Each structure stands twice: as structure tokens, then as C-alpha cells.
Amino acid sequence: MTSLAAQFRSLVPALVLAVVLSACAGKDEIAYKEQSVYEIYSQAMTYLDDGRYKDAAAYFDEVERQHPYSIWATKSKLMSAYSHYQNNKYDEAIAGLDRFIAVHPGNRDVAYAYYLKALCYYEQITDVQRDQDMTRKSLEALQDVLTRFPGTSYARDAKLKVDLTRDHLAGKEMTVGRFYLNRKQYLAAINRFKNVVDQYGDTTHVPEALYRITEVYTILGITAEAQKSAAVLGYNYPGTDWYEDAFELVQGRSQKSFQQEAKSDKPWYKLW
């Protein structure tokens, strides 16, 4: 009995260590069970089809863990990232895609890896009232797809998303410009509106930006510059409401009222 008790006591440290290591393995790692690559990959696909994306990612990772030299291990890296993307775990997806691109730069699916990485950023674009760092990362990643893989279906979709992303960034500039304008910080406001015209000249926000420039110059009494921006607006966007309002400003019919309102404490611009 003494001998058995001694043997048990000698095993306790090892058992404790095993429990600790098991806990450190993390909740996402599945218990090791030797299976064929077909069995693991099939189970991963089943989870993916069922919308169990966390489990799918874990099983795709298991393919690489148990069969690292299989051709399915390479595919599983990409499928694991896709599962994280479907689960809105964008950081994990991007990390997996970066590893795939670094290890397999010549793989036939690398174009999709770049495209999926761009989508991870694109899906995180926030309202223009908030920081647009993710929007800028999305634009950079989408343009990378256009540069590296022109003529592909990924590039065609990326081009559409680039246009939308640029429009979003222009919208952010307009929001900041209006913020300054409402507080009579005219220099800061006009610089934002000029950024829209100079950097995002192909977006839907340009007509308003030109009108706002005309508006600010009118308030400041810089008539020549107001007329110049109104002329650019009229030449490029004739018949728009923005041009009609700008035309009234440079004709002087609204100049007095705008200058009076500029001295008041109330917001005087009319977008909303």
C-alpha cells in the first residue's frame, strides 16, 4: 500500500502539469485525435456549411497540425482565414491571410487571399463621424489587389469598392469641413473642402465642396475667389442645386444675409 501511495504521489506533479498545459492550449484548440486528412477536412467543411465558423477554423487548423506536408494543409490555411472572416473575427483572418501570402506567394489562390484581406478591412468601415483608419487600410488593400491582379474578377470588384471607399473618405473630409465652418474657423474649413476637390475629385461630394468654398470666400469678402470656385462648379456641374445657390452668392443676392449670419452664434450652413 505504501508503495502504491508513493507512486501516486510521484505522479501528481506530472498530472498537474498536464492540466495546466491543457488549459494553456486555449479554448479554440481541439483535443488531439489522430485522423486522416480527409476526415479532418471533411469535418471542417461540415462545420463551415453549418455556420459553425469557430469550429470550422479550428478543424482547418488541425489539418495543418496533423498533416503539415499535405496539399490540403495549404488549402486549409486559406479556409481557416475564410472561416474567421465569416465569423467577423477580422484580426484573426488578416493574420492568417498574411501568413498564407508570406509562405505561399506563388500559390494559385494568392489573389483571393489578397482580396479577402481587403474585404476584412472593408467590412470594418465605420460611419464618417468616427475615425477612418480602417477605411484608409481598406483603400490601400483594395488598390493592392488592382495593382497585383488586374483583369481578374477580384480586381473588378475591388475597383467598385475603391470608388465607394474614396467617396467615404471624401464624406469624412466634408464632415470635418462643416464642423469647422459651423464654428467660423474658415481657414480650416476651406482647407478640408479643397482636399475633397483636389484628392477626391471623382466623388459625389465635389459639387458641395465647391459650393462651400464659394460660400466661405463670400463670407470673407474675397469676391474674385468666390467667383472662380462658382465658375468651376458651374462648368463641371451645371444645373445642380449647388450651382444655383453658388450663383446667387456671387451675384450678391445672398451675400449680405450670409455675412450677417456669420456674426451670429447659430449654425448657418444648410446641409442639414
Q: How confident is the model at residue 68 (pLDDT cuts 50, 70, 90)?
A: confident
* CATH architecture designation of domain 35-104: Alpha Horseshoe (1.25)
**Distance of alpha carbon 190 from alpha carbon 250, whole angstroms:** 17
Q: Summarize the confidence of residues 251-259 as an average pLDDT.
A: 53
The pLDDT of residue 33: 66
Q: Summarize the confidence of residues 81-105 as an average pLDDT.
A: 97
Q: Which tens digits make up the pLDDT trace of 24-59?
A: 444 456 665 677 888 999 999 999 999 999 999 999
Q: Where are the domains of the chain?
A: 35-104, 108-183, 205-262
- Residue keyed to cell 499535405: 70
The pLDDT of residue 248: 87
Q: How confident is the model at residue 169 (pLDDT cuts 50, 70, 90)?
A: very high
Q: How confident is the model at residue 159 (pLDDT cuts 50, 70, 90)?
A: very high
Does 18 score more than 50 pLDDT? Answer: no
C-alpha neighbours within 13 Å on the C-beta side of residue 144: 17
Q: Which tens digits make up the pLDDT trace of 95-151?
A: 999 999 999 999 999 999 999 999 999 999 987 778 889 999 999 999 999 999 999
Burial of residue 211 (CB within 10 Å: 0-12, 13-18, 19+) is buried
Q: How confident is the model at residue 2 (pLDDT cuts 50, 70, 90)?
A: very low
- The percent of residues in the chain predicted with pLDDT above 70, rounded, is 80
Nearest residue to 78 via CA among 65, 54, 61, 66: 61
* Residue 87 DSSP code: T
**Distance of alpha carbon 37 from alpha carbon 60, whole angstroms:** 10
Q: Summarize the confidence of residues 208-224 as an average pLDDT.
A: 94
C-alpha neighbours within 13 Å on the C-beta side of residue 1: 0
